[in-house]
A and B are shown apart, each in its own frame.
Chain A
Amino acid sequence: MSALLAIRDLGVTFTTPRGPARAVDGVSLDIHEGETVGLVGESGCGKTVTALSVLGLLDDHAGLDSTSEIRFRDRDLLRLSAEDLRRVRGDQIAMIFQDPAASLNPVLRIGLQVAEVLMTHRGMSRRDAWSRAEALLESVGLDDGAATARRYPHELSGGMQQRVMIAIALACEPDLLIADEPTTALDVTIQAQVLDLLAELRGRLGMAMLLVSHDLGVVAGMTDRIAVMYGGQIVECAPTADIFARPQHPYTAALIAAVPRLDGPPELPAAIPGQVPSATGWPSGCRFHPRCAQAFAPCAGDAPPATDGAHGGAVRCWLHAHPEATS
């Protein structure tokens, strides 16, 4: 079965005053129809850059590798004309962002911001689009759609604003939704409501989803598969259940250990020592080796190859490339 979205060998280099920054390095990832894939990792590991690349939203300082491909329904998004790409955005692939308050235009009424997508992609008149917008606002759980449509963003709470963003994103019933930290800026109770809403709408529309988050707790309940990023690379990718039951990469295991748990003896979650290195100078060899508790001889030397894991996943770690090293 061919994938809905196939990212192949994605490489992104930013030009910075401190030299080139290799934010994303050789990322390949498939998302199938109706599937939800989680992209997790710490800040600065390339998750958002990967997500923005799909819709060509990187700024002028970003350079893409010439060998990179992002195939969506057998069209390479990286090689579409600006106009063709614009037609894909918001219609077939939609995106929601971390901070809903900042993602809404402060001077436009909510209704117009929802209607705008319909006017853009469906050629609807302003009047038709507005009444459709009122219905959409109700479908994302905002009670009085007509009243909400007439409001300005600052009159809504953060949770309501993110519901509006979801209404905008889903207005054209896209095949793929990219959600970049959709709940990070929200209160914990509101997070759960927004995730429930996303799950419900995903089921209703049968769309695929790329859920970007630093929060394994958010990703755990929502996804079919998880890709773990570190240092601009995917270090492990496996079905969600396997990731949590049998993490192969020490970084994945460390991320899971860093999540506070309620079902054991009370203890502090285990922090990962050090911090994410800068994209202007990744460590040699395995990029995680300076922080890895299980680092051994080969880790600092060459980059580990991607190895097929035991349970259908893939992992980029010398422990698994040299199985004898663990014994």
Chain B
Amino acid sequence: MTGWRATLRRPDGKVGAALAAGLVLAALLAPVLTGYDPVAQLDLDASRLLPPSWAHPFGTDDLSRDILARTLYGGRISLAIAVLAVTVAILVGTTVGMIAGLAGGLLDTIVMRLVDAALAIPRLLLLLVVVGLWGSVGIPVLVLMLGGTSWFETSRLVRAEVLSLRQRDFIVAARAMGVGLPALLRRHVLPNVMGPVIVAATLGVGQIVLVEAGLSFLGVGVRRPIPSWGIMIAESRDLMVTAPWTAAFPGLAIVVTVLAFSLLGDALRAALDPKTGS
């Protein structure tokens, strides 16, 4: 696709794509990159809170677990949750946006006012309330909740695109040629909506990693002993001064992830936008 090539020609696109690919690879190859188990306690006497060394490049935590292993396996959890949640958000957001944009009228007004209302509530607060009502949640429910609270912007985006597409000459021309509604949506509306949606999805991955870390930090996200970056930071709360590596590496992982997907998203946006694209 031309969009990808244009993205990779941009410096921010190169860096973003390289970082994102590195993160995904590191998470996938976790068993190859480290021999340690992310949840096994090595030796509570000899291996507690070791600073970074050749044996433990990221050090160990207060339960004598290898932080490199926990960061790598935590990346699996955090990235998987983020990608799945973004997929849910994109599917819901695109569907709602297309229906609202095409139907117009009262349905459009009602749906979009509800979306406005939902957007006015801070997402973390919304999630805390939902989780509080639900009780403790597993990862599938967490994914659904994160996705279920992340589609509002996407639906607005898609609706706006569909509204402007509806008036575009090539949609009228396709209708004038007898193209039916299913083909019109699939071949003419959807591909023209996909650009902004891909950008939103890419930016969304970084955002959801951050939200998930926040939830886990607050103790309502992923549950111990499953490693997630948010949980690792939460566990090192009392150790940040005496053993800063316990928080630094998962923190760095979050920063790099958000940075990678923001760079990639911005580069995609610039590359896909015909007005600024190279």
Taking Cβ atoms with an 8 Å cutoff, the residues of A that contact B are 55, 57, 60, 86-91, 94-95, 97, 99, 102-108, 112, 116-117, 120-121, 154, 165, 168-169
CB contact under 8 A between A90 and B170, given known A107-B192, A116-B183, A116-B187 = no
Chain B hits for A90, CB < 8 A: 176-179
Answer whether residue B174 sits at the interface, using C-beta atoms and an 8 A cutoff. yes
Interface size on B, residues (CB 8 A): 19
Q: Per a CB cutoff under 8 Å, which of B173, B177, B191 touches A107?
A: B191
Chain A hits for B174, CB < 8 A: 105, 116
Q: Are B192 and A120 within 8 A (Cβ)?
A: no
Q: What is the CB-to-nearest-CB distance from B192 to chain A, in angstroms, rounded to a whole number?
A: 6
Answer whether residue B274 sits at the interface, using C-beta atoms and an 8 A cutoff. yes
CA distance A48 to B148 in the complex (A): 45
Q: Are B169 and A116 within 8 A (Cβ)?
A: no
Chain A hits for B225, CB < 8 A: none
CA distance A168 to B104 in the complex (A): 30
Q: Are A89 and B178 within 8 A (Cβ)?
A: yes
Q: Are B177 and A169 within 8 A (Cβ)?
A: yes
Chain A hits for B187, CB < 8 A: 105, 108, 112, 116
Chain B hits for A103, CB < 8 A: 169-170, 172-173
Encoded as 1 (CB less than 8 Å from any A CB) or 0, chain B from 174 to 188 comes to 111111100100011
CB contact under 8 A between A106 and B175, given known A86-B180, A97-B169, A120-B183 = no
The residue on B at minimum CB distance from A153 is: B170
The residue on A at minimum CB distance from B2 is: A152
Q: 24 A-B Cβ contacts within 8 A?
A: A89-B175, A90-B176, A90-B179, A95-B173, A97-B169, A97-B176, A102-B169, A102-B170, A103-B172, A103-B173, A104-B170, A105-B174, A105-B188, A105-B191, A108-B188, A112-B187, A116-B177, A116-B179, A116-B187, A117-B177, A120-B177, A120-B183, A154-B274, A168-B177
A57-B175, A120-B178 given; name 18 further pairs at CB < 8 Å: A87-B178, A88-B178, A90-B176, A90-B178, A95-B176, A97-B173, A97-B176, A102-B169, A103-B170, A103-B173, A106-B274, A108-B187, A116-B174, A116-B179, A116-B187, A117-B178, A154-B274, A168-B173
Chain B hits for A55, CB < 8 A: 176
Q: Are A121 and B178 within 8 A (Cβ)?
A: yes
Answer whether residue B168 sits at the interface, using C-beta atoms and an 8 A cutoff. yes
CA distance A89 to B169 in the complex (A): 16
Q: Which of B104, B173, B183 has the most CB of A within 10 A?
A: B173
CA distance A88 to B191 in the complex (A): 26
CB contact under 8 A between A105 and B192, given known A99-B169, A120-B183 = yes
- Which residues of B from 156 to 207 have beta carbons under 8 Å from A? 168-170, 172-180, 183, 187-188, 191-192
Q: What is the CB-to-nearest-CB distance from B233 to chain A, in angstroms, rounded to a whole number?
A: 42
CA distance A88 to B176 in the complex (A): 9
CA distance A163 to B168 in the complex (A): 20
Chain B hits for A88, CB < 8 A: 178
CA distance A29 to B191 in the complex (A): 40
Chain B hits for A107, CB < 8 A: 191-192
CA distance A117 to B172 in the complex (A): 14
Q: Which of B169, B174, B178, B192 has the most CB of A within 10 A?
A: B178
Q: Which of B179, B188, B191 has the most CB of A within 10 A?
A: B179
Chain A hits for B179, CB < 8 A: 90, 116-117, 120
The residue on A at minimum CB distance from B179 is: A120
CA distance A112 to B191 in the complex (A): 13
Q: Are A89 and B176 within 8 A (Cβ)?
A: yes
Q: What is the CB-to-nearest-CB distance from A315 to chain B, in angstroms, rounded to a whole number?
A: 32
The residue on B at minimum CB distance from A104 is: B170
CA distance A95 to B175 in the complex (A): 10
Chain A hits for B168, CB < 8 A: 102
CA distance A89 to B188 in the complex (A): 17
CA distance A99 to B173 in the complex (A): 11
Q: Per a CB cutoff under 8 Å, which of A87, A89, A91, A106 touches B170?
A: A106
CA distance A97 to B274 in the complex (A): 23
The residue on A at minimum CB distance from B167 is: A59
Q: Are B176 and A94 within 8 A (Cβ)?
A: yes
CA distance A96 to B192 in the complex (A): 22
Q: What is the CB-to-nearest-CB distance from A193 to chain B, in angstroms, rounded to a whole number?
A: 21
CA distance A154 to B275 in the complex (A): 13
CA distance A97 to B180 in the complex (A): 19
Q: What is the CB-to-nearest-CB distance from B28 to chain A, in angstroms, rounded to a whole number?
A: 32
Q: Are A57 and B176 within 8 A (Cβ)?
A: yes
CA distance A112 to B48 in the complex (A): 64
Q: What is the CB-to-nearest-CB distance from B199 to chain A, in angstroms, rounded to a whole number?
A: 15
Chain B hits for A102, CB < 8 A: 168-170
The residue on B at minimum CB distance from A154 is: B274
Q: Are A86 and B192 within 8 A (Cβ)?
A: no
Q: What is the CB-to-nearest-CB distance from A173 to chain B, in angstroms, rounded to a whole number?
A: 13
Per CB-CB distance, the 5 closest pairs between chain A and chain B, nearest first, are: A90-B177, A90-B178, A89-B178, A102-B169, A103-B173
Q: What is the CB-to-nearest-CB distance from A118 to chain B, in angstroms, rounded to a whole number?
A: 10
The residue on A at minimum CB distance from B190 is: A107
Q: What is the CB-to-nearest-CB distance from A102 to chain B, in angstroms, rounded to a whole number?
A: 4
Q: What is the CB-to-nearest-CB distance from A105 to chain B, in angstroms, rounded to a whole number?
A: 5
CA distance A116 to B180 in the complex (A): 11
Chain B hits for A86, CB < 8 A: 178, 180
Chain A hits for B169, CB < 8 A: 97, 99, 102-103
